[in-house]
Amino acid sequence: MSHLLSKHKSHRKLTTLVENRTTYNAEYAELNIYETHAMAEKVSLTFDFPIIASMLTGKKIMHLDDFDAFDFFPGESVVMPSHKEMIIDFPLATKNQPTQCLALGIDAFKIEEVVEKFNHNVAIEDENNNWDLSTTTSHLINNVDVNHLIERLTYTFTNSNKSKDVLLDLMIQELIVRLLQTKAKSLIINDTHTFNDTRIGTVIKFIKENLTNKDISVDQLAKKAYMSASHFHKQFKNTLGISPIDYINSEKIKFSKKLIKESKNLRMSEIAFQSGFNNTSYFNRQFKKMEMMTPQQFKASINK
């Protein structure tokens, strides 16, 4: 698939030798292409949305909670739920032969929209009909339909075309349907879809609707869930895999990324304030913790 990256190579900026990241945007998705030009071990990556990660060139060794360590080669994909850590080794990466990988994140509302269509229009086999949110990971090896779609998506993201957004929308819908037909199905169902009728779901909805509120506290959220603060904290972490404060910050960072993509003239201090952060230095620290780069580096990585 390296021939697909010719346009990408001419545009991307190389700022680091390990997991150098370039971001391409569409209305309902974000494509991140990572390039590593030197051997490295124990590199950590986490995303705040469900992603499909696919190898383009080279080899990685993946350390994921649900698997023994395994080699990750071109032609293979891993579907990861949000907030799930990947620990990665790069045994073969060199300056002349970098290891390249993509991570495609899809907007939760787009997934939910396609899921509803899928439910209405496609008969799902009984044994595959479990819509509970799963905390496990799915390793897809040589799924031809998924591989072809990822190739087409990569080409379309990285090349200019008048119909780019329309084509990406259609391909993303198809990719979601393909994943719904695999064992990865439960991983891409959005948490709002799963938690709608629960007390934790009520809290998640409140957080999403009040992101710019700088004074959301765990005590306030616990009251909304009709739980004690300690029980709420434990229940929230058991359900989503992260603490309430980390979840709030991840949602605020997600919103700030949207502002950075869409606003050319806003200063970072204004973006921090509009994203619900009290001060810019805390915003910068949280952004770097979650995105492995500063907000300014993220802005520079965006290739529209």
**Bridge partners (DSSP) listed for residue 21:** 34
pLDDT tens column, 77-114: 888 877 788 899 999 888 888 888 898 988 777 777 77
pLDDT for the residue numbered 6: 57
86-96 as b/e: b if 16+ CB within 10 A: bebbbeebeee
Mean pLDDT of the chain: 79
Between 4-8, 63-67, 101-105, 298-302, the lowest mean confidence (pLDDT) is in 4-8
Q: Say which amino acid occupies 42.
A: K
User: How would residue 273 be classed by pLDDT, with cut points 50, 70 and 90?
Assistant: very high
pLDDT tens column, 222-263: 998 888 988 888 888 877 777 888 889 888 998 898 899 888
**Which of the pair, 45 or 191, is modelled with greater confidence?**
45
Contact 192, 112 (CB under 8 A): yes
pLDDT for the residue numbered 269: 93
Residue with token string 């229009």: 121
Contact 89, 14 (CB under 8 A): no
**Bridge partners (DSSP) listed for residue 203:** none
pLDDT for the residue numbered 89: 92
pLDDT tens column, 205-233: 888 888 888 778 889 999 988 889 888 88
User: What would be the CATH architecture of the domain defined by 2-188?
Assistant: Sandwich (2.60)
Closest-CA residue to 201 (of 193, 212, 209): 193
pLDDT tens column, 35-69: 888 888 998 888 877 788 888 888 899 988 767 88
Residue 238, classified by CB atoms within 10 Å of its CB into exposed (0-12), middle (13-18) or buried (19+), is exposed
pLDDT tens column, 125-164: 433 443 332 344 677 776 788 888 888 888 888 887 778 8
| Alpha carbon distances (Å) from 114 to 48, 62, 65, 117, 126 | 20, 30, 28, 5, 20
Q: Does the structure show a pLDDT above 80 at 283?
A: yes
Give me the CATH code for the 196-301 domain, please: 1.10.10.60
* Residues in Cβ contact with 92 at an 8 Å cutoff, skipping those fewer than 6 apart: 39, 58, 59, 99
| Whole-number Å distance between alpha carbons of 221 and 22 | 36
Contact 32, 105 (CB under 8 A): yes
Going from N- to C-terminal start, the domains of the chain cover: 2-188, 196-301
Mean pLDDT of 68-78: 85
The two counts, helices (H) then strands (E), for the chain are 12, 10
pLDDT for the residue numbered 129: 41
Residue with token string 């819908």: 173
pLDDT for the residue numbered 270: 93
**Bridge partners (DSSP) listed for residue 53:** 78, 103
pLDDT for the residue numbered 30: 86
**Which of the pair, 118 or 107, is modelled with greater confidence?**
107
User: How would residue 196 be classed by pLDDT, with cut points 50, 70 and 90?
Assistant: very low
pLDDT for the residue numbered 146: 83
Contact 2, 73 (CB under 8 A): no
